[in-house]
Structures are given as structure tokens and as C-alpha cells.
Structure 1
Amino acid sequence: MWSIWKARNLKIWQQVSDSTFTILEREKHLLEGWRIANCKQAPLRHDNSSSNTSSSHQNGDTNVQWRKPSVGRYKCNVDASFPNNSNKVGFGMCIRDSDGNHVRSKTMCFYPFCSIDVGEALGLYHALRWIQELQLTNVDFEVDFKRIADYFNKGHGDVTEFGFIMDSNIHFCNTYLKNSHVEFIRRQANEVAHALAKTATSSTSFLVFDDIPACISDLIFNEMT
């Protein structure tokens, strides 16, 4: 019903006529996203950390610790948090320089609750625009949701809400942040952004930290040593 309603709105407000195939494909993607978001198997995290832990060790994957960006670049770690029994999603993002020093952090809250893939895509959406507002260049964005990095680097044509947001992210980055890119990392290398995202859900507005907030001070220190 949502897909049909969206097709109707596109027709009225944007003079875009969706084909029956497009409406059905959007419905299938939306339903699959809903099923994934409502999966109750606790051991399986949305970043696939449980299912990939053993294979990453077997394959010698060393991308499990946060690493400083190369000289002259910044790194922005991004994550989203989906607390149980809550109608909101928290976003956390942290910028650090090539020496590993904390530059700035930000937390945000989003209403209402959405699917995991849409929430993670929105986290990147806000991070990209924040970086552009700060007039920073040469930024490496890191996320622990593999579908985000995969779509950003080689995906297209997804007609779901996730696809619309990611297409906007790609266009924005290609326009304003041409020397930046998005990479997938393991959850262990994204603890700072995750801690910020969890903190965000206890606030009713966005917060920007020029100094290191208490919730990530130990994590920052440990990753710099």
C-alpha cells in the first residue's frame, strides 16, 4: 500500500509515472528491509560482526582496529543506534585528524524509528552534510554497516527508501566532497561512533562537541596508544 501511495504522490507532485514493475520491486525491497529490521536473532548484529568474526580471523582480516588517516586527511566515523522499546534512532559521528586527535563530534536523534538500513543511510547523509558545512576536505568516512559501503562504491538502481537516500549521498559526495570516500570497517574499529550514537538517544536535540565528550574519552585514548 505504501508503494502504491508513493507512486500516486510522485505522479501528482513530480509528474513521474512509475511502472507496475517499479511499484512491485519497491514493495519487495521494502518488505525485505522490514523483515531484516524485525529479525529477533540477537546474536546477529546489523554489521554482520557475529557471522563474520571467525571468517575474518581465518582470512587474516586486520581491519578490526581503528587506524589513523594518512597525513593531510581526516577520518569521520559514523554509526546509528536502534534502542529497544524506543521510537527514535540515534546518530553518532566523530572527526579525527592524521595524528588521531579528536577534532569534533556530533550526536543527533531521528524520529520515528525506521529500518536499520534506512537509519544507517541517514547517519551517513547527515555526516556528509556536516563535513561540508565545516568546509573540510580529504575525509575518509567509515561505517560498520557493509551494505552502506557496498552501495556507495558500486551500487545503484535501488528504488526503496534506502536507495533514494544512498543515491542522494553519492550525488552529494560527488558534488561537494570529491576527494572523500566511504569504507566498511568492523564494529571493533567503530566503537567511538557507536558510543556517541547510543548517547544520542538520551537527548532531544543534536549536540556538537569541540572537546572530547566523557562517553568516548577512554575509547579515544586507547585508540591513540
Structure 2
Amino acid sequence: MREFGTIPPCLRIGLAFAKDTLRDCLAARMADPQTPHHHNERTCPVWRKPMEEFFKCNVDAGFGSDKRSFGIGMVIRDSNGSFIVSRTNFHDGAALVKEAEALAIHEALSWIKELGYDKVIVETDSKISEDEVHSEEPYFTEFGLTISACRALIRNQSSLKFGNVRRQANRAAHTLVKTALQQACFGTTYVTPISIHSIIMDDCNYPPED
């Protein structure tokens, strides 16, 4: 018999997703349309194919149930929306949310450099991380050093664009985070993972970016 007041795990996940969606909607409504943006499709709730000759890398980070470990997921697709390669990573140890997100972005940027890609759009659903990366504020903490390293990688890749999107437009990377947490290991694959196959196919139905 379920104890009164206990929320089933499936319902907790649904409530968390609803909370994230509400947060994104409020953020989009509050955004000033007159304010210039870097690459930012936050008002669009779906993944968009990148412009021709560009690749798009979506990246995300998330924590295990005990909050003592976190996973990172990233996936690269081409201008047709086709899967190119994905990577997952697992970090055993506590961290702040902003630290995990910043590390995920740094790993994605370093990975792109390692692969030799130049024309790439990198997307995260962390608005805080995007703001910090585009800021000129100096930092002297571990988080700040990671942000500074991200800035340096972006500066050194002239055709790289970086911005944030809604969680719904970052589903593939978010799902890969769950895979990283479940397997607790590092992995790279050039074959579409079963866990994101339907997401990749679904995302291809949406029009490309303007």
C-alpha cells in the first residue's frame, strides 16, 4: 500500500517537466524582442535544422537521484537533421547545477575542436550558462575558470555560434544525459542510439532555421 502523500516516480518526472516548461514559457514572455541576441531560438519550442554547411551540437547536463553524480550528453547533427555522432560522459562527485552545465559546454566545445568541425551551432538549455559565456565578467572560481575556457574556445573558432534553446528543443541531449547516468561511463557512437532514434526522426519534421 502506498503511503499517503508519496508521489510516484513517474508523476515526479512529469511534474518536473511541467515545471521546466512553465519556466521556459515565462522566460520567453519576459524576453525583450528589441534586445539583440547571439544565436538564440528560445521562443521556438522545437529543434531546428541548422543552415546549410553548418552542423548543430546540442548539449545538456543532469544529476543522478542522489545528487552526488552528474551526466553529460551531446549530439551532433547536420543541416538535414541527420545524426552524425553523440557522446556521453559521467562524473562521480557533487557539483552545483551551473558548474555541471558549464563543464558540459566546455566538453562539447573541446569535442568539436577535436573533431575538426568549424561551422557549428552549439545549443544548451541553460540560460544562465549562455549569459555567463557571453558576458565579459572576470571570474576567479572553478566555475569561472570553466566559463573563461569556454569563451576562449569560442573565440578561436570564428564560425562557431553559441546560444540557448528551450528544454523541448534539447530533448536528444537531455535523453543522452539519462543514458550517461544509467551506464555511469564515457561513450562515443557514430550510430544513432536507440534512446534518441525517435527524437532524431521527429526533429527532422520541423523546418530549418531562417
Using the size of structure 2 for normalisation, the TM-score is: 0.79
- Structure 2 counterpart SS, 1:67: coil
Q: Which has the higher contact order (CA 8 A, sep 6+)?
A: 2
User: Superposed, which structure 2 residues align to 1:94-113 within 5 Å?
Assistant: 94-113=75-94
Could you say which residue in structure 1 is the equivalent of 2:10?
A: none
Higher fraction of helix: 1
Shift of residue 161, structure 1, vs aligned partner: 2.1
**1:162 & 1:153 partners in 2: Cα distance?**
14
| Cα distance in 1 for residues equivalent to 2:27 and 2:110 | 35
Task: Give the counterpart of 1:53 among 22, 25, 37.
Answer: 25
**Other structure's SS at 1:141 match:** strand
Among 76, 82, 90, the residue aligned to 2:71: 90
Q: Which amino acid aligns with 1:125?
A: H
Kindly name which structure, 1 or 2, has the bigger radius of gyration based on alpha carbons. Answer: 1
Instruction: State percent identity of aligned pairs.
Output: 30
Looking at structure 2, the residues matched to 55 and 67 of structure 1 have their Cα atoms a distance apart, in angstroms, of 19
Q: How much does 1:148 deviate?
A: 1.1
Using the TM superposition, give the Cα deviation of residue 85 of structure 1 relative to its aligned residue in structure 2, in angstroms: 1.3
Task: Kindly indicate whether the alpha-carbon contact (under 8 Å) linking 2:43 and 2:166 is maintained by their aligned counterparts in 1.
Answer: no
Aligned to 2:111: 130
**Aligned runs of 1:114-125 on 2, under 5 Å?**
114-125=95-106
**Is the partner of 2:182 in helix, strand or coil?**
coil
Residue identity in the other structure for 1:134? L
CA displacement 1:134-167 (0-9 Å, x = unmatched): 1111110000000111111234213332211000
Unaligned stretches of 5+ residues in structure 2: 1-13, 34-41, 206-210
Indicate which of 185, 189, 192 corresponds to 1:212.
Answer: 192
Alpha carbons 1:156, 1:167 under 8 Å: kept: no
Q: 2:153 is matched with which residue?
A: 172
* Conservation of the 8 A alpha-carbon contact between 1:66 and 1:189: yes
Q: 1:72 to 1:81 in 2, by over 3 A?
A: same
* Structure 1 contact 77–95 (Cα < 8 Å) conserved: yes
Alpha-carbon separation, structure 2, partners of 1:173 and 1:145: 17
Gaps of 5+ in 1: 1-41
